[in-house]
Amino acid sequence: MHELSVTRSVLEIALAHAQRVGANRIQRINLVVGDLSGIVGESVQFYFDFVSRGTPAEGAELSFRHIPAQFRCHSCGAVYEPEGSDWSCPLCGEMEPEPVGGRELLVESIEVEK
């Protein structure tokens, strides 16, 4: 239930922000999701509808901006964005690159109603 705990922390961040700015209602939460995060937008929205019930974030819409995976090659040091499911290094063919980007799940901004 990785997504449920992720969704809870998104809700906590959003509620803390709403409280700080004195908002009564959260309308939209803009998220940045890395392609390697394993997060599926639809299921986060599903969980969010559930965990936000009775809070100022109830009914808020989640919007997802995807950022691509990025790898660094152990052998030649190249940093690249893989194409499709081929993650090998385009320069030297190394098969086990190190992921350096694309695991993020961040709250980018929140739209509220006062």
Interface residues toward Zn ion, by CB under 5 A: 73, 75-76, 78, 89, 91-92, 94
Question: Shortest distance, CB of residue 34 to Zn ion, whole angstroms?
Answer: 21
Q: Which is nearer to Zn ion, 81 or 108 (CB)?
A: 81
Residue with tokens 């809070």: 55
Q: Which is nearer to Zn ion, 28 or 74 (CB)?
A: 74
Rounded to whole angstroms, how far apart are CA atoms 95 and 114? 52
Q: With helix as H, strand as E and coil as C, how does 23-51 read?
A: CCEEEEEEEEEECCCCCCHHHHHHHHHHH
CB 31 within 8 A of CB 66: no
User: How many residues does the structure list for the chain?
Assistant: 114
Question: Shortest distance, CB of residue 38 to Zn ion, whole angstroms?
Answer: 25
Question: Shortest distance, CB of residue 72 to Zn ion, whole angstroms?
Answer: 9
Rounded to whole angstroms, how far apart are CA atoms 70 and 58? 34
Question: Shortest distance, CB of residue 92 to Zn ion, whole angstroms?
Answer: 3
Looking at this protein, which amino acid is placed at residue 100?
V
Q: Which is nearer to Zn ion, 16 or 92 (CB)?
A: 92
Q: Which is nearer to Zn ion, 78 or 106 (CB)?
A: 78
